[in-house]
Chain A
């Protein structure tokens, strides 16, 4: 079956702090039909995101399919709050890269 990579389908794929103890991920689509296709594909779920980032499901605090914005959004707990010594990403802005190459069936 033909597949497309997520970065070919989404307008925006980003991560960012949501408060000091969470990082939230936004996958935003330009067209509702593409959003619906990705949503229907079942590739992006709380469980699959936990697996991708190799974290227990409990670290996913929220998983939202946000129809008004044609977006899929999930949020994870940090292990330590942002900016604790050793944190490599105080803003949480560079955590989205593993999403780019997810294969979405046609």
Chain B
């Protein structure tokens, strides 16, 4: 095989639907693989902790359907990583079921469906801590303690290429992966077909977010990557988009603090000496990437732990005097919550939209609030009952704030609703760490089933 072509229609399958026009053009270009990642830690810790998806099932199914039908029609494999936003075991099972249902719906000829799980037991991680193999913190996290582990509800390991390569070797036609490095699911088929890691990992890096490597800006459009023994070429499939030197080199810095390095289970992609060349109007050619394998494999772990049940409430403020004194209004409400529930055992948060609700401590214009404010109150507590009452006090007491010079003595805030609303339970990221393994497959259990027989 002299070259291998992969199309990617979506950088986060399910989060918003793929765009059919460019996908069909991608399919017409006769790729050898169709692949997309379906997860991200961008969505926060709630989906992983509560074992839910943030994407609607209908959007997930719709994209899987597009990809499955195209892959079976072309007779080429389809690869999905990080099933259902988090890549937890239940999300893998859900996608496997969707694929089986879609096969029945469309009467597809038999094919082999491979999958793997990424969840890691707390006991496995505890064993590492106790055996003196540090579970190392990333990005400012301290090394993992047993207390933080105990506060964790669910852990997933970030797969590199290994489980994908294994399933391809076993002849999988469709792969549903648990949590995965997005780039790995494109690198794996390239490695499987004998291409060098230097190019294979770059192919993954450039394809992972679909049209985010193209311009003008427009998400969820299909792009195609082609790998050879010496280069990677990436082409926008939508006629109105182009992969340019600027858009492709620019993508390397997206969502990463270091635009030259990308870490995987098993090594690091070094893009320092990448050379970019405009091949035609919509295609950029990239050479010079290097993959530096690690002597010891460290796998990234993500974990989320429950903080408590959560309610939210909303109110508005229009009086300029009250706006200028909104912190005093909030202090008054906090004080009433303290009188009822004490100082600890709950969380109470105020986001003041129109002042610094979006940027919080980073807001330089905090002293220039708008002419009206919206305040979102969040109460987090061990039980739903307490969370509701806590949030209700924290919201309603704003109405009764005692500002000395206020003219409007009938109420300090406006209510769009009478009630407070149940929200998702609050979780936090407890694990953002790496764990050393002797065998890169240790944390990933694979399976292969026949569909349509």
A interface residue numbers (CB < 8 A to B): 11-12, 16-22, 24, 26, 28, 30, 52-55, 61-62, 64, 66, 68-71, 73, 75-77, 79-91, 94-95, 97-98
Given A20-B139, A52-B364, is A89 in contact with B257 using a C-beta cutoff of 8 Å?
no
Query: Is B349 located at the chain interface by the 8 A CB criterion?
Result: yes
Q: Please determine whether A69 and B255 come into contact, CB atoms closer than 8 angstroms.
A: no
Q: Assuming the A-B contacts A28-B246, A83-B46, A85-B310, are A55 and B361 also in contact, with contact meaning beta carbons closer than 8 angstroms in the complex?
A: yes
Are A21 and B380 CB-contacts (below 8 A) given A53-B362, A86-B351?
no
A26 x B429 contact (CB < 8 A): no
Task: Mark each residue of chain B from 8 to 21: 1 if its CB lies under 8 Å from any CB of chain A, else 0.
Answer: 00000000000000
B432 touches A (CB below 8 Å)? yes
| Cβ of A90 to closest chain B Cβ, rounded Å | 4
From B254, B307, B426, residue with most partner A Cβ within 10 Å: B254
Across the interface, which residues of B come within 8 angstroms of A83, CB to CB?
43-46, 427-429
Kindly list 15 other residue pairs between chains A and B, CB separation below 8 angstroms, not including A26-B250, A28-B250, A86-B349.
Answer: A16-B254, A18-B139, A19-B138, A20-B432, A22-B257, A69-B253, A71-B250, A71-B259, A76-B362, A77-B139, A82-B41, A85-B349, A90-B42, A90-B44, A98-B365
- Shortest distance from the beta carbon of A85 to any chain B beta carbon, whole Å: 4
Question: Total A-B pairs in contact (CB under 8 Å)?
Answer: 142
CB neighbours (8 Å) of A77 from chain B are 139-140
Please give the distance in Å from A30's CB to the nearest CB on chain B.
7
Q: Which of B43, B249, B257, B310 contacts A61 (CB 8 A)?
A: B257
Q: Is the CB of B45 within 8 A of A88?
A: no
- Taken together as a complex, chains A and B put the C-alpha atoms of A69 and B358 apart, in Å, by 29
A88-B44 contact in complex given A17-B255, A69-B253, A71-B253, C-beta closer than 8 Å: no
B141 touches A18 (CB 8 A): no
Do B360 and A88 touch (CB < 8 A)? yes
Contact with A along B253-272 (1 / 0, CB 8 A): 11111110000000000000
B139 contacts A95, C-beta separation under 8 Å: no
A59 to chain B, nearest CB (A): 10
Nearest Cβ on chain A to B453's Cβ, whole angstroms: 42
Q: Residue B378 at the A interface, CB < 8 A?
A: yes
Are B41 and A20 touching (Cβ within 8 A)? yes
Which residues from B are CB-within-8-Å of A89?
358-359
Complex CA distance for A42 and B442, rounded to whole angstroms: 49
Once A30-B246, A55-B362 are accepted as A-B contacts, the answer to whether A81 and B432 lie under 8 Å apart by CB is: yes
Which residues of chain A come closer than 8 Å to B59, judged between CB atoms? Answer: none
With A16-B254, A88-B358 known as contacts, the answer to whether A73 contacts B259 (CB < 8 A) is: yes
- Name the distance in Å between B278's Cβ and chain A's nearest Cβ: 14
Whether B257 lies near A75 (C-beta < 8 A) is yes
CB-CB nearest 9 A-B residue pairs: A83-B44, A86-B349, A75-B257, A81-B429, A85-B426, A69-B249, A21-B139, A62-B257, A90-B44
Which chain A residue lies CB-closest to B251? Answer: A69
What residue in chain B is nearest A68 (Cβ atoms)?
B249
Q: Is B347 an interface residue (CB 8 A)?
A: yes
Q: Name the B residues within 8 Å of A98 (CB-CB).
A: 362, 364-365
B111 within 8 A of A: no
Q: Are B274 and A68 in contact (CB under 8 A)?
A: yes
